[in-house]
């Protein structure tokens, strides 16, 4: 639109009634959202862009497609944009991404999220796990000082699967076997006293030393004091890797004891378990294969680590074409 025509259109805005004002705002909102998303993507872009196929840094601009600048590699001839190689590649409706990020911060179910943003429920579900792809990996490099560790269990779920690997059961049912069995997903959570948290779905059934070596050892500082319940796996793990270890016997009713001037307990981990399970109830069941994504989602929300939709979108994009 040329400037004189735009000025004439803009001068008529005060004469619009309330309904017309709302229609104008509804029409402008997607364009504003698209501009915000494109600007944010350009800010997060890696300073040294390279070809996602061959890694060559020599590239030149090659037009626009889907509202993004495209580039062509001088070595292999591949074309790419700023989202190529990221979880958000090939997703459409960019103007609604910030609105959907706010939905994620509000922890809405798939259907409620779809209704608020104005997309199909399948799109809302697909976006949820694309946005969480990097969020589940956004963890502290190491846990220091006193590190509390504990496991909790959720009933294994194959929600959404077309073919079940077991006989079907009613939603919200119980395991057929008593105690800790292969019907339960084991979730390991470790937290230090500064709030740093790592978690992992270790597998089915009771916790083992091999699982601790895989999921906890790489993030555990060598000088850390590991505090846990009286499970034998923690004791064997700490002895094998010469890690300081203290245990509280919860079965005997011991919740707190002192080691010198340090308080030995696992209340921080148990509180995190409770917050996670309470928050998970709003989704009416979560498939076991998606549990790592929901753990990452809860960690992003816990303690208000992510409070703005722009921040969540930055985590979802992460580093582009590095």
Walk along the chain (322 residues) and give the pLDDT tens digit of each residue: 677 777 777 777 788 787 776 676 566 555 557 888 888 887 777 666 788 888 888 888 888 888 888 899 999 988 988 888 888 888 889 989 999 999 999 999 999 999 999 999 999 999 999 999 887 887 888 999 999 999 999 999 998 888 888 888 877 778 888 889 999 999 999 999 998 999 999 999 999 999 999 999 999 998 999 999 999 999 999 999 999 999 998 888 888 888 888 889 999 999 999 999 999 999 988 999 999 999 999 998 987 888 888 888 888 887 554 3
pLDDT per residue as tens digits for the range 238-256: 999 999 999 998 888 888 8
pLDDT at 53: 84
Spatial distance between the Cα atoms of 276 and 286, rounded to a whole number of angstroms: 12
**Number of residues written out for the chain:** 322
Rounded distance, CA 267 to CA 272, Å?
9
Q: How far apart are CA 180 and CA 202, in angstroms?
A: 14
DSSP bridge partners of 73: 59
Q: Kindly state the tokens that stand for 34.
A: 């698209």
Domain boundaries along the sequence of the chain: 19-135, 146-159+180-286
Contact call for residues 49 and 320 (beta carbons, < 8 A): yes
Cα angle, residue 118 at apex, residues 85 and 21 outer, rounded to 5°: 120
Q: Assess if CATH 3.30.420 describes domain 146-159+180-286.
A: yes
Residue with tokens 């309330």: 18
Q: How far apart are CA 299 and CA 102, in angstroms?
A: 16
Establish how many alpha carbons lie within 13 A of residue 111's alpha carbon, considering only the half-sphere containing its beta carbon.
3
Tokens of 105: 């911060």
Q: How far, CA to CA in Å, does 276 sit from each of 29, 62, 298, 300?
A: 34, 46, 7, 12
| E strand residue ranges, 55-97 | 59-65, 68-73, 79-81
The full 3-state SS of 161-206, as one line of letters, equals CCCCCCCCCCCCCCCCCCCCCCCEEEEEEEEECCCCEEEEEEEECC
This prediction's pTM: 0.84
């Amino acid at each position: 639109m040329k400037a004189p025509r735009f000025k004439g259109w803009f001068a008529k805005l005060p004469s619009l009634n309330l309904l017309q004002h709302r229609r104008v705002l509804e029409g402008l909102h997607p364009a504003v959202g698209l501009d915000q998303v494109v600007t944010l993507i350009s800010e997060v872009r890696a300073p040294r862009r390279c070809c996602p196929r061959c890694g060559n840094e020599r590239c030149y601009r090659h037009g626009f497609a889907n509202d993004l600048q495209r580039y062509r590699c001088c070595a292999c001839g591949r074309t790419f944009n700023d989202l190529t190689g990221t979880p958000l590649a090939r997703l459409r409706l960019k103007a609604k991404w910030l609105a959907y990020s706010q939905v994620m911060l509000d922890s809405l179910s798939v259907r409620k999220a779809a209704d608020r943003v104005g997309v199909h429920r399948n799109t809302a579900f697909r976006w949820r796990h694309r946005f969480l792809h990097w969020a589940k990996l956004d963890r502290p490099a190491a846990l220091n000082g006193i590190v509390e560790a504990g496991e909790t269990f959720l009933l294994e779920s194959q929600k959404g699967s077309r073919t079940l690997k077991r006989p079907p059961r009613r939603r919200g049912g119980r395991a057929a076997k008593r105690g800790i069995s292969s019907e339960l997903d084991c979730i390991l959570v470790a937290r230090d006293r500064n709030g740093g948290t790592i978690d992992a779905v270790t597998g089915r059934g009771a916790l083992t030393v091999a699982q601790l070596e895989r999921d906890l050892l790489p993030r555990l500082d060598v000088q850390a004091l590991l505090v846990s319940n009286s499970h034998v796996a923690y004791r064997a793990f700490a002895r094998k890797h010469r890690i300081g270890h203290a245990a509280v016997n919860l079965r005997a009713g011991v919740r707190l004891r002192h080691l010198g001037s340090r308080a030995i307990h696992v209340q921080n981990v148990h509180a995190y378990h409770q917050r996670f399970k309470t928050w998970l109830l709003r989704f009416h069941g979560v498939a076991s294969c998606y549990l790592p994504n929901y753990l990452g989602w809860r960690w992003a929300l816990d303690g208000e680590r992510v409070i703005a939709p722009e921040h969540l979108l930055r985590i979802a994009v992460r580093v582009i074409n590095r």
